[in-house]
Amino acid sequence: MVKAPELEGRVMPNAGSPTDPWAQVAMLVRLIRTGEAQTRPELAEATGLGRNVITLRVQAAEAIGLIRASGAARSRGGRAADIWEFTGVHHHVLVATVDEDGFRVVLANLDLTPLGESSVEWTLSDDTARTCERMAAQMETLISDHRSPTIWGIGLGMPAPVDVTTGRSRDPVIAGAKGIRWPRTFDIRRWFIDRMKVPVWVDSVSNLAALGAASEPEAPADLVFVRLGNGVGSGIVSNGGLHRGADSLAGEITHIVVSDDARRLCLCGRSGCVDAFAGSWAIEAEARRAVAQGRSPFLAARAEDGLGLAVVVAGAESGDIACAEIVHSAAEALGRGLATVVTWFNPRRVVVAGNDLASSPLFRHILTRTLQSQALSACIEHLELRIGPGQAAEVVGGLSLVRDALLAPSHLAAWAPTGSPADFGAAVLAIG
Ligand SMILES: [Zn+2]
């Protein structure tokens, strides 16, 4: 364990306040990590702190292994100033994302560089605690496969809205058609804190994906990430930060009503939602109906192998009319929902990613056309629409969620005096 130096004036009741020395360390680490200020004179100018204080805080950040000297700045005479850079290579975090078909666990360092990952097919209708146990075992295998580094924190992405303060599911429907339930009473964060003994943060995979998209270079401050899956999730980044909403339910684009077709029943109990057209469960139900009504030779020939989304997308590309109609309706429904979102929220970028729909040329064409025809033209004039694979975004988002939480002034002020968040104690860090 790295022993952090004592800082004068450290008073725990003020932890995280701007005058707390460790909160000042957190501020310098953020400026150095983002490249906003990288030398002592730049840090002094950016923060208004005195040179001597800057020197002490930089030493403290170096001692806990968050920054390192990377050379000297050019000088116009006098001694050249050291350039500092963020380094997270010696600190490790884990991210696990849960989906309708299984889960994925990634081990990475605090620089967000993945070091190893594993995916497990898993039916989430299985017992919740058993699912968590399986995930934890997968995490422990990854840890031991990589020489057992100390883990600083864990990020969890769930396939439904999550109350980030309680770690509990907010959604009455997770993936009903497949019988998937994640009980509202189950506190997954507390379970992992107790099991893994490190700080844990939990959010929806859609929010993590939005965070991942927002952390890309040159990412705009206002964006929406639409995640295609069993349902259609979305995450909203507003003015550079995640917008979760008053009840952690922001982004439920899948339950925007886009049709008055009463036959399109949704899992939420209403009808005509985006979900009832573009959720993979709805597409698969439509495929079964097309076969039963003898409308799709393509699907009928493949019915014995199962009528998954990939088969429907392949059918649409091969010219099967019923398959094309299903993909067309999914794209049109999502396009209508997205037009409302874009007109109301005015994002600079929309990313649509996830399952096989995103790689279908027909889906992309109809979605784009519907959005262009139904959104306010001024709102799409500068809109960048990206449709394609994007599963990496949720892992990057999960890693940055954990990193940013660990390095936030209030959290860093709490754990830094002991040298490691793992040593400080998980329970305290994980609250709030
Ligand atoms: Zn609905």
Tell me the CATH number for domain 252-390. 3.30.420.40
Nearest Cα to Cα of residue 188 among 159, 153, 235, 156: 156
Q: What pLDDT is attached to residue 239? A: 96
Q: What's the CA-to-centroid distance between 304 and ligand 1, angstroms? A: 30
Q: What's the CA-to-centroid distance between 118 and ligand 1, angstroms? A: 33
Provide the token pair at 291. Answer: 């076969």
Q: What's the CA-to-centroid distance between 43 and ligand 1, angstroms? A: 50
- Which of 143-152, 323-332, 422-431: highest mean pLDDT? 323-332
pLDDT digits (tens, 9 = 90+) for 249-270: 899 899 999 999 999 999 888 9
Q: Which of 123-137, 189-203, 261-275, 331-345 has the lowest mean pLDDT?
A: 123-137
Bridge partners (DSSP) of residue 155 are: 95, 201
Compute CA distances 190 → 141, 208, 358, 405, 407, whole Å: 21, 19, 35, 17, 21
If pLDDT is split at 50, 70 and 90, which confidence band does 417 have?
confident
pLDDT digits (tens, 9 = 90+) for 314-360: 999 999 999 999 999 999 999 999 999 999 999 999 999 988 999 99
Q: What's the CA-to-centroid distance between 240 and ligand 1, angstroms? A: 29
Nearest Cα to Cα of residue 212 among 313, 309, 354, 89: 354
Return the percentage of the chain with pLDDT > 90, whole number: 64
Q: What's the CA-to-centroid distance between 261 and ligand 1, angstroms? A: 13
State the span(s) of the chain assigned CATH 1.10.10.10.
12-86
The listed CATH number (1.10.10.10, 1.20.120.160, 3.10.20.740, 2.40.50.140) that belongs to domain 12-86: 1.10.10.10
Tell me the CATH number for domain 92-211+393-430. 3.30.420.40
For the chain, count helices (H), then strands (E).
17, 14
Q: What's the CA-to-centroid distance between 353 and ligand 1, angstroms? A: 20
pTM, full prediction: 0.89
Q: What's the CA-to-centroid distance between 253 and ligand 1, angstroms? A: 9
Q: What's the CA-to-centroid distance between 45 and ligand 1, angstroms? A: 52
Q: What pLDDT is attached to residue 324? A: 98
- CB-CB neighbours of 283 under 10 Å: 24
Q: Is the pLDDT of residue 425 over 80?
A: no
Q: Is the pLDDT of residue 100 over 80?
A: no
If pLDDT is split at 50, 70 and 90, which confidence band does 11 have?
very low
Provide the token pair at 355. Answer: 């399952």
State the span(s) of the chain assigned CATH 3.30.420.40.
92-211+393-430, 252-390
